[in-house]
Structure 1
Amino acid sequence: MTAYANQVKSYIEQYKAEVGGDGLLDPHEVAEWAYKRGLHKPSIRTVVDAIASDISQFFREEFRTNQDGQRYRAKHAVRFKKGDKTMSLWADMDDEKAPRDHFVRSFAQRRQQIVGDCFQLKTDVDVYNGKNATAQPIQVPLDFTLDVEELQLPLKGKKAA
């Protein structure tokens, strides 16, 4: 664990000891608590990262509707390593200058994220079921074919008004 991670872990433990609570942690409350006590002093890099995170969130949340009534995410990211840093570049689907390869990579990366999420969900469910062997096991199907088809049904044969 890095020194920074150890510092964060330390003030999370201090927060839990001081505030107590029900075992649920709100990262914003912990951050505010740590900041007010001088346990976490943001650097200019931290501030820039926070603003960049807000911009990325705006990009993630920008949706448009095409002529067929399909609501689509307008901007897509590709993550890559540059030295020891992970970077993201965003492109708008409606920007004719944005290279096709960017979207090929973005869609492939998003699919890998979904696969990773499904793997972790399956692991978490398996571990939970193992810890609670006397209860009926929780089942989580990972084939989304019918779910996606059902969500597409309202769009079949419709055009945007």
Structure 2
Amino acid sequence: MAKLNDQLLRIVEDYRASGGEWPATRDQIAEWAVTNERYELTRGMAVRQCAERIGRAMGLQHFKDRKGRSVRKYYAAPVRENGQLVMKWDDCNAPRPFMEIAAANRRNQILGQCWQLKNDMDSYSERRCPEQPIQLDFDFNIDLEELGQLNTAA
């Protein structure tokens, strides 16, 4: 995957070097890449891209539960299979051990996003506004309470 990522980032840099509009949308960059024959899908790439899109679609699928809450229908969890960790998907009726792993996995993803946001803003603040750094609060308890109240009021 790193190899493909490197190729895609090289396309971005080549697009910029070609004098393409910047800042640009990813669609503009992709259009340039395809037009200039810089991007072609191999079978493996097509399967990976399809799998990624299927995963994204499953991750976005919601339904209303008996209390009217919007709940995800599908969940992913890393499962050991033949000595390898593979990401398996199940629905909202999965056995509890699967759901515990899926919840921990999702929480770790959120933690990783928070860590990256903190690094990004710390770096930005040090470079651009060291006297007034951007302050972030990662305690979401009050936010969760407020969202819960909004959902019960609706």
SS at match of 1:153: helix
Identity %: 28
Show CA shifts across 1:25-47 (max 9, x none). Answer: 43333223212222222101111
Change in Cα spacing, 1:25 to 1:80, as seen in structure 2 (3 Å) is farther
Report the CA distance between 1:3 and its aligned residue: 5.2
TM-score (norm 1): 0.80
Residue 27 of structure 2 is aligned to residue 28 of structure 1: yes
Aligned to 1:10: 10
Change in Cα spacing, 1:47 to 1:4, as seen in structure 2 (3 Å) is closer
- In the alignment, the residues of structure 2 paired with residue 157 and residue 132 of structure 1 have an alpha-carbon distance, to the nearest angstrom, of 42
> What letter matches 2:128 in structure 1?
N
Residue 108 of structure 2 is aligned to residue 112 of structure 1: yes
SS at match of 1:79: strand
Show CA shifts across 1:65-122 (max 9, x none). Answer: 1111211111111135779x874211110x3xx3221111110011111111111111
Pick which of 45-54 and 127-136 moved more.
127-136
> What letter matches 1:113 in structure 2?
Q
Report the CA distance between 1:134 and its aligned residue: 5.2
Structure 1 gap ranges (5+): none
Change in Cα spacing, 1:90 to 1:3, as seen in structure 2 (3 Å) is closer
Q: CA RMSD in A?
A: 2.6
Give aligned pairs, total. Answer: 153
- In the alignment, the residues of structure 1 paired with residue 147 and residue 28 of structure 2 have an alpha-carbon distance, to the nearest angstrom, of 36
Change in Cα spacing, 1:148 to 1:8, as seen in structure 2 (3 Å) is same
SS at match of 1:138: coil
Residue 63 of structure 2 is aligned to residue 55 of structure 1: no
